[in-house]
Structure 1
Amino acid sequence: MKDRLYLNTHNPNAAAVAKKIGFGIELDDYVYFNTNIDLDEGKTLFDRCVGLIQGCNKLIFHGAILGTDLKMLAEASTSDIIALYNQSFATAEALGINHIVFHSDYIPGHSNRREWLHRSIALWQEYMSDKPENLYIYIENFVDNDPYIMAELCEKINDKRVMLCLDTGHACSNSNVDVADWISILGSFIGHTHIHNNDGNWDYHWPLGKGILDMEQILHLLEAKTLNTTYTIEADYSLSLEWLLAHGFLGGCDYQIDFQ
């Protein structure tokens, strides 16, 4: 999996480390930021991100999210979501990135399951209707409490450019369904994976070796059940890379990792 591994720019040093070692970069600087890149604040961030990714040809862009208020997320209109996602697409395109992760806006307890599914299928089909053939979207489980609706969504969107991003930490803290079952149910729909660990109660983004998830089992399942999914470490990358090395997931590496 070493050729499919990405580091997340939440840590300011991660991009430099990724480029030094040869991993990819997942740019998440726009998750909570939706300012036009032509405005002063937007241009400052854009220029900084250009510097972060320069020299790396394996790139993923984490699209902006609508917010963290769950009731507001459940009530967001299709036009608001598409406008936000189009802004993320414009930014990613300007940065030369054609892989984008977007959060699912399914909110258990607020969203009507059938209505949400019907609306979301139409939303993604409309969104992708004017997008280039080489754009790939990964819909990430956020507070989803089971994998079934995600599998049905991806199947019925029926667009090879739209896949799922399994977030192991979100599945662990927001669902009573075992993460191994998420992998079995979602299977080949998984195109990208966010890997981190927690205590099952809160989304702590702990490193791979800390928490209740058996990450060794999970990674072996992902390698067996998916079609070469890519991975982003969304945790302390130094501890997580040490864990991956120790457990044989970066086999064949002939370098000594310098985490500084």
Structure 2
Amino acid sequence: MSSLPVVGAAMTIDELENHRDWLFEKSRDLELQSFIDADVLNGDWTPRADRARKLLDGFRGRVGIHGPFWGFIIASQDPDIRAVVSRRMLQGLDVCAAIGGTHMVIHSPYTTWGYNNLDNNPGERESIIDYSHQTMRQAVKRAEEIDCTLVIENIEDKDPHIRVALAESFNSPAVAVSIDTGHAHYAHGSTGAPPVDYYVHAAGNRLGHVHLQDADGYADRHWPLGQGTVNWRAVFAALAKVESNPRLIIEIKDKSKIIASAEYLASIGVAQ
């Protein structure tokens, strides 16, 4: 039996039907992207959840969702905005409870501008952590109750360590770190951040989730794996040292290339 890590993928419920056999074959991890939008979460999403449960009947892989993120950050200074964000996160966790989801992706509050100004404005580092706690307090409690993990994904993060410290500040098993390889590669190529494998080393065993996408270091491409310039051998060598068993999720725009992306990783001997 191969000891190489097994990769899964992110997709909508419609695309789940097309990839069901591939997912079931090796109990691959799955991330559903059908519960991101506010109009879905504010409406009756139960038919979507029912359909997902039916399609996943007998599935042995881990399941989660990409949580809502459009139009906000988790560390807003505005208390009214924080209240909306808190509600969105709780709505996403309601979905997780309904479908048996055990992870939900949320976005990092750290920006490129912030990297250059965190120490320019006294107390800014502490404020971001405090605002994030105020926003996420109820969500973290709810996640603990339903055995779900909120994984904080790098977006503009130039410092691979700062988001790890934020996750650790909650002192909860329900908060972990996510790495998006394309986002890290963008930060490396365009803002002077370290390469992608450094993000993996920085996260260590706090790492719970990885979005695998290829890119060119300039934009958030979400290309099939092997099409860009991410150093996949270095990334997976770093992942081999992590003992937290993170979910490895192919997240690309062209879902028809998910299986080809997994086959590319197999062809270079790093995953299956």
The TM-score normalised by the length of structure 1 is 0.82
Q: Which moved more, 1:227-236 or 1:213-222?
A: 227-236
Of 117, 123, 134 in structure 1, the residue corresponding to residue 129 of structure 2 is 117
- Give 1:30's aligned residue: 35
| Equivalent AA in structure 2 for residue 215 of structure 1 | W
Of 61, 65, 75 in structure 2, the residue corresponding to residue 62 of structure 1 is 65
- 1:99 and 2:111 matched: no
Distance in 1 between residues matched to 2:38 and 2:25, nearest whole Å: 27
Distance verdict in 2 for CA 1:132–1:2, change over 3 Å: farther
- Give 2:221's aligned residue: 204
Distance in 2 between residues matched to 1:125 and 1:232, nearest whole Å: 27
Query: Which secondary structure does the structure 2 equivalent of 1:129 belong to?
Result: helix
Distance verdict in 2 for CA 1:35–1:64, change over 3 Å: same
Of 260, 265, 268 in structure 2, the residue corresponding to residue 239 of structure 1 is 260
How many residue pairs get matched? 248
Q: Report % sequence identity.
A: 22
Contact 1:136 1:162 in 2 (8 A): yes
Q: CA deviation at 1:122?
A: 4.1
Distance in 1 between residues matched to 2:8 and 2:258, nearest whole Å: 10
Distance in 2 between residues matched to 1:213 and 1:250, nearest whole Å: 15
| Equivalent AA in structure 2 for residue 221 of structure 1 | A
Q: CA deviation at 1:36?
A: 4.6
- 1:49 and 2:62 matched: no
Contact 2:27 2:61 in 1 (8 A): no
RMSD after superposition? 2.9
Contact 2:224 2:258 in 1 (8 A): yes
- 1:78 and 2:78 matched: no
Query: Which secondary structure does the structure 1 equivalent of 2:219 belong to?
Result: coil
Q: List runs of 5+ in structure 2 lacking aligned partners.
A: 119-123
Contact 1:197 1:209 in 2 (8 A): yes
Q: CA deviation at 1:197?
A: 0.9
Q: CA deviation at 1:199?
A: 0.4
Distance in 1 between residues matched to 2:37 and 2:4, nearest whole Å: 29
Matches for 1:126-165 after TM superposition, within 5 Å: 126-130=138-142, 131-132=144-145, 134-165=147-178
Q: Deviations over 1:21-69 (max 9, x none)?
A: 4322211111235535873xx2443333234433313233224323157
Q: List runs of 5+ in structure 1 lacking aligned partners.
A: 252-260
| Equivalent AA in structure 2 for residue 90 of structure 1 | D
Q: Following TM superposition, where does structure 1 have runs of at least 4 consecutive aligned residues deviating by more than 4 angstroms?
A: 1-4, 72-76, 110-113
Q: Which moved more, 1:239-248 or 1:193-202?
A: 239-248
Contact 2:76 2:82 in 1 (8 A): no
- 1:9 and 2:17 matched: no
Q: Deviations over 1:98-123 (max 9, x none)?
A: 22222223344379652222211343
Q: Deviations over 1:65-114 (max 9, x none)?
A: 231578x9786722111100000000110112222222223344379652
Distance in 2 between residues matched to 1:237 and 1:244, nearest whole Å: 11
